Structure 1
Amino acid sequence: MPKAAIFDLDGTLLDSVDLHALVWQEALLKFGPDVSFEQVRGQIGKGGDKLIPVFLSADDQRDHGEKLEEWRGNRFKTEYLPLVRPFSAVPNLLRRVREAGLQIAIASSAKKDEVDKYLDIARIVDLVDLATSSDDVDESKPAPDIFKIVLKKLKIDGADAVAIGDTPYDAEAAAKVEVRTVGVLCGGFTENELRKAGCAEVYPGPAALLACFEHSLLRK
């Protein structure tokens, strides 16, 4: 039996991936290259430290990478954050996880202030034992830093935890510290992409994981 469930937020518990892709596309167009929505969307799940180098040269990053991310963050909070909604059954899923005796942690590539707001939007503030963000680590997913922090703070080994995420980057990061991953399709990646990245199980979304809870990795 696992001792903890480590949840991603964007695309896993919250329907926010398209909104993040839109604001990143706007920011990149404002400060640099002409990139498509599809190009940007495939990178959502990474933090800015990993996403920006995909589209900006080293010189461009030095010149305006910091300004780009600051502009993106401010625009997301004012224009897009109010549009974020949780997927169905999110509080019920987390309650079921707690009833099964697991600790609940959040491991997100979002900034801390965004994570705090997300927990409120999803109505899970009182269900989470530990919330971590990109502010807590040097490198975001697919680097394993955020999972290392969670395991250290929960005082457990990787084999005692299960990660739940919607991107290959979640699975890749978790695997580096021996955490098994349950994938969800609601973030937009395909089942094949998630399984290739290392997801042991894949469900359509939180409601489906709740419905199949007794047979999932969270109970094995």
Structure 2
Amino acid sequence: MPVSVQVDACPVMVEDLELPKAAIFDLDGTLLDSVDLHALAWQQALRKFGHDVSFEQVRSQIGKGGDKLIPVFLSADEQRDHGKEMEEWRGNRFKTEYLPLVRPFSAVPDLLRRVRDAGLQVAVASSAKKDELDKYLDIARITDLVDVTTSSDDAEESKPAPDIFEIVLRKLKIEGADAVAIGDTPYDAEAAVKAKIATIGVLCGGFTESSLRQGGCIEIYPGPATLFARFADSPLAR
């Protein structure tokens, strides 16, 4: 039975998708095992500035950029008072303490090479900052396999707003219907759906299959290695 996702009240059926022209990958939690590390850095930043927030509460928001995550935990007055300072502290903490611990999931370069061999362009659309994104590509060993990148620095709003995906589409010079997104959070799927992009979900970032399907994912895989192994049957090869 085909799975459908609602896009502007028009269901997009998996079996009806034409062969895409590009694959647009998220990074954190999709290609890199980094979600818990980001959650720790954010939790420590929040606590340092007087906000007692649990690890689980913070982790549920990873996948959003700081512009979307901070308002979940800080009032408007608190954001004006120390929101920017807290986000800067978080960034420095992550880069010094946790970035060296980030590792790629299995078969990430293999998957991207398979995508390129199939004739698709490869793009990365991440809520990370530009300086973090460049380092991530190096850690994942995919710098030379990516045609286009977009970070939160390029967009007015981060996921689940569609800005990052819309910028990638413009850089690729294609429409949303010509691409497939791959992400680990419902925020990836929500953002992609708003840009009219079908989305594959991966479970390696820790979000549930149910939440990914509710976000709009048309198919779910355990992680990059499984998507690589089952590439011929995936929306990337249809």
Selected match of 1:195 from 204, 213, 220: 213
Partner residue, 2:52: 34
Selected match of 1:10 from 17, 28, 38: 28
Return the alpha-carbon distance in structure 1 between the equivalents of residues 50 and 66 of structure 2: 15
Selected match of 1:94 from 103, 112, 136: 112
Q: TM-score, normalised by structure 1?
A: 1.00
Return the alpha-carbon distance in structure 2 between the equivalents of residues 32 and 52 of structure 1: 13
The residue type paired with residue 200 of structure 1 is I
- 1:117-196 mapped onto 2 (5 Å cutoff): 117-196=135-214
The residue type paired with residue 125 of structure 1 is T
Kindly provide the CA deviation profile for residues 161-188 of structure 1, in whole angstroms up to 9, marking residues without a partner as x. Answer: 0000000000000000110000000000
Partner residue, 1:56: 74
Confirm whether residue 80 of structure 1 aligns to residue 93 of structure 2: no
Kindly provide the CA deviation profile for residues 71-107 of structure 1, in whole angstroms up to 9, marking residues without a partner as x. Answer: 0000100000000000000000000000000000000
Return the alpha-carbon distance in structure 1 between the equivalents of residues 93 and 195 of structure 2: 34
Return the alpha-carbon distance in structure 1 between the equivalents of residues 158 and 169 of structure 2: 16
Partner residue, 2:39: 21
Displacement of 1:33 after TM fit? 1.3
The answer to whether the 8 Å contact 1:174/1:181 transfers is yes
Partner residue, 1:213: 231
Return the alpha-carbon distance in structure 2 between the equivalents of residues 205 and 118 of structure 1: 17
The residue type paired with residue 138 of structure 1 is E
Helix, strand or coil for the counterpart of 2:158?
A: coil
Q: Which runs of no fewer than 5 residues in structure 1 stay unpaired?
A: none
The answer to whether the 8 Å contact 1:32/1:56 transfers is no
The residue type paired with residue 127 of structure 1 is L
The residue type paired with residue 147 of structure 2 is D
Return the alpha-carbon distance in structure 1 between the equivalents of residues 159 and 216 of structure 2: 14
Return the alpha-carbon distance in structure 2 between the equivalents of residues 189 and 69 of structure 1: 24
The answer to whether the 8 Å contact 1:108/1:134 transfers is yes
The residue type paired with residue 41 of structure 1 is R
Return the alpha-carbon distance in structure 1 between the equivalents of residues 133 and 230 of structure 2: 27
Q: Which runs of no fewer than 5 residues in structure 2 stay unpaired?
A: 1-18
Runs of 4+ in 1 over 2 A off after TM superposition: none
How big is the alpha-carbon RMSD for the aligned residues of Structure 1 and Structure 2? 0.4
Helix, strand or coil for the counterpart of 1:163?
A: strand
Helix, strand or coil for the counterpart of 1:189?
A: coil
Displacement of 1:32 after TM fit? 2.7
Confirm whether residue 47 of structure 1 aligns to residue 77 of structure 2: no
Helix, strand or coil for the counterpart of 1:164?
A: strand
Helix, strand or coil for the counterpart of 2:115?
A: helix
Displacement of 1:15 after TM fit? 0.1
Selected match of 1:113 from 114, 131, 141: 131
Return the alpha-carbon distance in structure 2 between the equivalents of residues 74 and 177 of structure 1: 32
Kindly provide the CA deviation profile for residues 1-56 of structure 1, in whole angstroms up to 9, marking residues without a partner as x. Answer: 10000000000000000000000000000113100000000000000000000000
